[in-house]
Amino acid sequence: MAQRNSFYITTAISYPNGAPHIGHAYEAIATDALARFQRLDGRDVFFLTGTDEHGLKMIQTAQREGMTPAELAARNAGRFRDMDDRFGISYNRFIRTSEEQHHASVQEVWKRMQANGDIYLDSYSGWYSVRDEAYYAEDETVVGEDQVRRGPQGTPVEWVEEKSYFFKLSAYQDKLLKLYEEQPDFIGPDARRNEVISFVKGGLKDLSVSRTTFDWGVKVPGDPEHVMYVWVDALTNYITGVGFPDESDKNWHYWPADVHVIGKDIIRFHAVYWPAFLMSAGIPVQKRVYAHGFLFNKGEKMSKSVGNIVDPFNLADQYGVDQVRYFFLREVPFGSDGSYNHEAIVNRINADLANDLGNLAQRSLTMVAKQCDGKVPGHGAFSETDSTILAMADGMIGQARTAMASQQIHQALNAVWAVVAEANRYFAGEAPWALAKTDPARQKTVLYVTAEVLRQIAILAQPAIPTAAAKLLDILGIAEDQRNFAALPTRIVPGTPLPAPAPIFPRYVEPATA
Ligand code: ME8
């Protein structure tokens, strides 16, 4: 079967019960890098992100803040959108689950699951965590020294008894195991896949999927006393985002999603519940779920009570957007947990960006401006060192494609920065500044090769650092339509006039203390 050219990628939709934190920014940045990569590689990309606005958590926060859940959601959804815009997140749609179309979408999924015999009314009693929006079995909870009973994620649980609709999740155990077996790429990374498989093998209980104690949510069709469990509602955003329930929508062809990018804490919802709901509703299941790790501030979990929640807007102001994007994407192997602190960020900015990439561009292009008439120089025959560095540059795209196909963003960047490092060695070794007098023809060849390698680096750096890479491509005189991966095999054209080389990455300098 020919590979389809479309590519549908999503983030989780965030709870807008507070302001966005750096974990949210991290997920958006990584998903954006993956989306931009596929666009540059010629795919027709649809990138969905948004906010998950229903549920008890929203009601409780709204009460505390003296507003309605709708007002709280509207205010904070705006903040999430601002964060996306601040970080250059190239989403195609920002979905809010309070939208009318989404209500219709979730109700249609419900009706289809019901028509398939998977929904029944019963009564529920169990331990419910508002924070996790999840029920736990008695043996999954423990009573702490503070006499508070908590669930497996450490959040308080309360005893809840009510009439509830159930989804026959138990009927999907074998079908899910078959899915994981037949599609080995369904869950990544592997550690998560194993975790999910052993959870499903352990047996699945039917899932309580409605509540009657509040009404901020999607109403159950035909029984408006009940609102749907927030996860049925939330997961459905991924199909609403591309037009559901209108299957004649211009975007519906994007479904099934190529990859849902999420954090490791919500893998069960995405790799167990969501495919079961879709199978029940007779809708194709997504192709893959990829769970990234958690970010910790100096190794500590972020929490409001510790007071170490980092505001992503502040980080952007302090270090710069591309700098923050680059730091997280390069520093944290995508799929593992990561820790960040000021020194680590400054080190990446100054070593990788300002010195290795920025200085090389600045030094070589200043020489071109002064000694080659401000035009891309012509070149003579290539030496072995020229051919070696050019071959290494030509090899980046293959490595990056392989890495990005399995969301190994850090590996794609490692491949690019290995060439950055090698280009620096090449430049230092060839010493073109000394060649100006002794062998001007050779100097031109070295500057040509350096510019060509920088061109390929800049093209491949675009998914991670879009603004700085665009600046670099500007000063290399590369036309807008020559910045995609299809243009990689072309060579930079001798004689192209270049604008004056402006610096791309300033060094991070500690602000003077008063
Ligand atoms: O879970 N580091 O919303 P959410 C990295 N509404 N990622 C983190 C993180 C951290 N410290 N903290 C959170 C929800 N995340 C649901 C999702 S999807 C149909 C519904 C990630 O606002 C988290 O893992 O709590 C999730 O992928 C995303 O941020 C939103 O988290």
* Each residue's pLDDT tens digit, 2-56: 568 999 999 999 999 999 999 999 999 999 999 999 999 999 999 999 999 999 8
Ligand 1 atom nearest to 262, measured from its CA: 27
Query: How far, in Å, from the CA of 12 to the mean position of ligand 1?
Result: 6
Angle at CA 15, nearest 5°, toward 218 and 206?
55
Residues in CB range of 479: below 8 A, 6 or more apart: none
Q: Which residues line ligand 1 (CB under 6 A)?
A: 12-15, 23-24, 26-27, 52, 234-235, 237, 262-263, 265-266, 294-295, 302
The pLDDT confidence band at residue 135, using thresholds 50, 70 and 90, is confident
Q: Whole-angstrom Cα distance, residue 378 to residue 180?
A: 55
Amino acid making up residue 351:
A
Query: How far, in Å, from the CA of 312 to the mean position of ligand 1?
Result: 15
Segment 344-354 mean pLDDT: 97
pLDDT for residue 308 is more than 90: no
Query: How far, in Å, from the CA of 498 to the mean position of ligand 1?
Result: 44
What is the percent of the chain with per-residue pLDDT over 70, rounded to a whole number?
98
Using the Cα atoms of residue 222, residue 227, residue 228 and residue 234 in order, give the sign of their dihedral: positive
Residues in CB range of 63: below 8 A, 6 or more apart: none
Amino acid making up residue 25:
A
Query: How far, in Å, from the CA of 190 to the mean position of ligand 1?
Result: 20
| Mutate-to-test residue for ligand 1 from 14, 26, 407, highest number of ligand atoms within 8 A of CB | 14
**Which domains are present in the chain?**
6-118+168-292 (3.40.50.620), 351-497 (1.10.730.10)
Segment 156-177 mean pLDDT: 95
Instruction: Kindly provide the ipTM of the predicted complex, given to two decimals.
Output: 0.99
Nearest to 223 by CA among 120, 124, 128: 120
Q: Where are the alpha helices (DSSP H) in 41-156?
A: 56-65, 69-86, 100-115
Q: Whose CA is nearest to atom 9 of ligand 1?
A: 23
Segment 405-429 mean pLDDT: 98
pLDDT for residue 292 is more than 70: yes
Count of other CB atoms within 10 angstroms of residue 467: 14
Mapping DSSP to helix (H, G, I), strand (E, B) and coil, where does residue 156 land? Answer: strand
- DSSP state, residue 183: -
Q: Whole-angstrom Cα distance, residue 354 to residue 326?
A: 12
Amino acid making up residue 214:
F
